[in-house]
Structure 1
Amino acid sequence: MDAHDNAPAPPPGCPAYGAGERVPLYGPEFAASPQAYYEYLRSYGPAAPVELAPGVEATLVTDYTAALQLLQDSGSFRKDARRWRDFNEGRISVDNPVAPLLAYRPNCMFADGTDHQRLRQAVSDSMARVDTRRLSRITEQVSGYLISRIGARGSADLIADYSKQLPLFVFNELYGCPAGIGDRVLFGISGMFDGINADKATAVLFEAVGELVALKRSSPGDDITSWLMQHESKLTDEEMVHQLALLMGAAEAQRGLIGNTLHRLLTHDRYAREGGLIDEALDDTLWENPPMANYAPHYPATDMEFAGQQLQAGDLVLVSFAAANTGPTLAAARQAGSNRAHLAWSAGPHVCPFKEQARHITVTAIENLLNRLPDLQLAVPAESLTWRPGTFHRSLTALPTRFTVVESAERPGQSPAPAEAADDQDGRARGKPERSGMWSQFLSWLTR
């Protein structure tokens, strides 16, 4: 043993018991208590050796200053996942559970240099055209629809019934998805991140997005897909498909942001639902419980020493936004400085291009929910809530709540319940005849 002797004891369930052991960032123990793992990882220094899934090795940056340095240094650290040495040398299989979120795709997240600048400019310019009033209207319409489905019950799981569905519906509207394509986009994104028939779900998503691109080539509209297509960067159809799959997949992070902020509001007494404290709860969530906890894959361009670790060119290096944001040296600085200096949106050239819109969707969705269900409260003890296993995301499995029954605002001709819609999507994936899916139902409700 060496200087690492003074490290805190590994968290329960963690098999790392000495210097050089990789700390696993997966399994129920990590999901239940990630901050205990981050505290242990800090004993290695600003970065630590971790395992993302069995056999998938990486270095995780846990220090705020080191993370900011990495995110802003595009010369020393590259984003192109074709540099990933372990994957190239066959140590990581294509069907590994973390491969879908790490393997190379021709989108702006995995691009460097002029390629990144061209793709990123197209994305940023297209996102900037989203009108705030339109975004509010869409979010309120979707929120009203979802609340109308649960209001008469007096209880709801705000993950399955609200925070999971709302971003998917809003994103479909923003990207101009017609019913048939939108239903498959919903199925694809949900399946990819839930790990349910992930290969099939990924194929469904990319096929649906490909159809959306073909549709907008012939019939453009007032939507992000059309704006991206019309951008002076002149994206090819393949580039369009991969940018859209990346951007629409961000609905998963939006789901976690809404759910985690609701969790904070419902489990911390100091937040009053009146008085405009939703913004404060949102900022505190981004600091302490961000929906993307560990991500931002990078690869050293050359062999180097960084943050106390010896790295080889092509090693996988991730940033722990959750650990960097909650480091012990940040508490005083956070109180004295900006409450929005966290890294939950990443930083540098790959900072999230949709962060202001994501905030707006979250605040609007939560305000509408609390206005319609003013006595909303947890239906179970807070300590009984569980978190989804996974290395990258941080979100609840369920958020059971109760409230006073409200008269349904459902319009005449009530469509099938969401559970039936989910069955429709699963049936379609297995080749059964297609019926009306979730997105089709919402569009039908909206136009009655």
Structure 2
Amino acid sequence: MDDLSTPVPPPGCPAHHSGARVPLYGPEFAADPQAYYAYLRHYGPTAPVELAPGVEATLVTDYATALQLLQDSASFRKDARRWRALGEGKVPPDSPVAPVLAYRPNAMFSDGAEHLRLRQAITDSMAKVDPRKVSQATARVSDFLISQFGARGSADLLGDYAKQLPLFVFNELFGVPADIGDRVVFGIAGMFDGVNAEKAMGVLFTAVGELVALKRSRPGDDVTTWLMQHPAQLTDEEMVHQLALLMVGGNEPLRNLIGNTLHRLLTHDAYAHQGGLIDEAIDDTLWENPPMSNLAPHYPVADMEFGGTRLQAGDLLLVSFAAANTGPALTAARQAGSNRAHLAWSAGPHACPSKEPARQITVTAIENLLNKLPDVELAVPADSLTWRPGPFNRGLATLPARFTPVDVARRSSAAAPADTSARQEPAAATDRKTERGGMWSQFLNWLTR
């Protein structure tokens, strides 16, 4: 065989001369993941990768093979207690990927009847969310965030906008009061920013536990209450873990989807400031730059051959949504008009249960931003932007922008939410309040001033 026909690892890849597993972390991978996926495809439908130092996995890069994995709940399970390497002590206890992959008693890591019970409670509760309330909540939060930087004429559309908007919208939909909401925002941001992630996780779970206790005594018109009142009769512990899953699992993908779509709109002339093309820009982003690039951990129940790779029971498999979406086999289908057949929302019994609200929040957030800042543009060259490293997500570190300064006024009280439970605080919370308050408290004060 001609040596030129065999792909070589991308420049800077540690596997270049060693034949080692291909690392999906570090600045080289973050800068050009598609070069890595193109190389990984030469292994076949599956490829050997390393998620972090010492953490090995098999990555599914082929669309059809990914669908087979996602839909075969008999041969592959989600319960991370099956993870053989973790059970054998081969995964470093301080590994940065452990918090994402480690077992928790929630719908993401359950199988069979237990998964169906938890999943049904989540989907039924989310189905009660009024789309009008989602749009109104998103517009209010968008106005508030723009009001914080609009007069400056410049902003980091990631840190100042896309990162914070999903947290605030979720707080409102879940009926989170000010003091608890401040700690939810702190906890989720800390977990993904990698700044004392263990402490951040503790703060988040404590805050969500207080939210559950509050809603047991003072139910409201919100997702937390609906989940609590579901016929599945979730215990307090189950409530905490399902709510944390929804809040954490919903925030990071939504943050990246908003940011990646804004990036696409600001760097591709075909979309520039044409509001009618926002839906198209979102679809193109989900195909080519999905917010979660590699995830959906699964474990084979027995030794088997799958996608050309010999697997042992309990080996870790991940789906590369980014590679599967951009594989050569998908090009023809996409050109034929199947514009929403991508895997960005996953597929099978564990597919995203909130893709419609997520899309609605993204559309409203971007439309409102472009309406308020019609001349917004990148403040730096596009090729100077950097992407956050890591194997799972795909998101920019910053998105600096400039625009003509604006003054954004609070929306009229007619648009305020009918349910005021998110603004009510238990007596214990009042004792902890400080003059400074957190961003969620500031938002609630802004709404009522």
Give the shorter-chain TM-score range.
over 0.9
Whether 1:364 and 2:364 are equivalent positions in the alignment is yes
CA RMSD of aligned residues (A): 1.7
Q: Is the 8 A contact 2:61 2:321 kept in 1?
A: yes
Distance (Å, rounded) in 1 between the aligned partners of 2:333 and 2:2: 28
The answer (yes or no) to whether the contact 1:376–1:401 under 8 Å persists in 2 is yes
SS at match of 2:152: coil
SS of the residue corresponding to residue 59 of structure 2 reads strand
Distance 2:255 2:374 in 1: 21
Aligned equivalent of 1:91 = 90
* Counterpart check, 1:447 vs 2:439: no
CA contact 1:20–1:49 (8 Å) conserved in 2: no
- The AA in structure 2 aligned to 1:162 is Y
Q: Does the C-alpha gap of structure 1 residues 39 and 155 become closer, same or farther in structure 2, counting only changes over 3 Å?
A: same
Kindly report which structure 2 residues correspond to 1:205-224, keeping only aligned pairs within 5 A, or say none: 205-224=204-223
1:247 Cα shift? 0.3
What is the aligned partner in structure 2 of residue 424 from structure 1? none
Q: Distance in 1 between matches of 2:359 and 2:84?
A: 36
Answer yes or no: is the 8 Å Cα contact 2:257–2:291 preserved in 1: yes
Matching residue of 1:334: 334
List aligned pairs for 1:146-161, cutoff 5 A. 146-161=145-160
Give the deviation of 1:21 after TM superposition. Answer: 2.2
Letter in 1 for 2:383: E
Change (3 A) 1:277 1:167: same
Distance 1:6 1:100 in 2: 40
Aligned to 1:184: 183
Shift of 1:443: 0.5
Q: What displacement does 1:360 show?
A: 0.1
Letter in 2 for 1:320: S
Amino acid at match of 2:204: L
Report the alpha carbon displacement of residue 150 of structure 1 after superposing the two structures with TM. Answer: 1.3
Secondary structure of 1:48's partner?
strand
CA contact (8 A) 1:83 1:299 kept: yes
Q: Which residue of 2 aligns with 1:417?
A: none
What corresponds to 1:237 in structure 2?
236
Cα offset, 1:312, TM superposition: 0.4
Indicate yes or no: 2:354 matched with 1:354. Answer: yes
TM-score relative to the length of structure 1: 0.93
Q: CA deviation at 1:272?
A: 3.8
Q: How does 1:157-176 map to 2 (within 5 A)?
A: 157-176=156-175
In 2, the alpha carbon distance for the partners of 1:195 and 1:346 equals 25
1:280 matched to 2:280? The reply is: yes
- For each residue in 1:286-339, what CA deviation from the matched residue of structure 2 results, as whole angstroms up to 9, or x when unmatched? 000001000000000100000010010000000000000000121111111320
**2:379 alignment partner in structure 1:** 379
Alignment of 1:35-184 (within 5 A): 35-184=34-183
Gaps of 5+ in 2: 412-431
| 2:200 equivalent in structure 1 | 201
Matches of 1:117 and 1:336, distance apart in 2: 35
Q: Distance in 2 between matches of 1:380 and 1:41?
A: 32
Letter in structure 2 aligned against 1:381: P
CA contact (8 A) 2:410 2:447 kept: no
Answer whether contact 1:4 1:19 (CA < 8 A) is retained.
no
Deviation at residue 20 of structure 1 after TM alignment: 5.4
CA distance in 1, matches of 2:130, 2:45: 40
Cα distance in 1 between the residues matched to 2:316 and 2:18 = 20
Partner in structure 2 of residue 394 of structure 1: 394
> Per-residue CA shift, 1:398-427, capped at 9, x if unaligned?
00111111134269xxxxxxxxxxxxxxxx
CA pair 115-19 structure 1, distance change in 2 beyond 3 A:
farther
The secondary structure found in structure 1 opposite 2:57 is strand
Q: Which moved more, 1:107-116 or 1:145-154?
A: 145-154
Alpha-carbon spacing, 1:244–1:434, altered in 2? closer, same or farther (3 Å):
farther
* Alpha-carbon shift at residue 432 of structure 1 (Å): 12
Equivalent residue, structure 2, for 1:427:
none
After superposition, the C-alpha distances for 1:267-302 in whole angstroms (9 at most, x for unaligned) are 001114225100000000000000100000000010
Which of 231-240 and 86-95 deviates more? Answer: 86-95
Shift of 1:8: 1.3
Amino acid at match of 1:130: V
Contact 2:151 2:407 in 1 (8 A): yes
Identity over aligned pairs, percent: 75
Report how far residue 46 of structure 1 moved.
0.5
Alpha carbons of structure 1 residues 202 and 258: separation in structure 2 relative to 1, 3 Å: same
CA contact (8 A) 1:4 1:18 kept: no
Q: TM-score, normalised on structure 2?
A: 0.93
Determine the structure 1 residue equivalent to 2:15.
Answer: 16
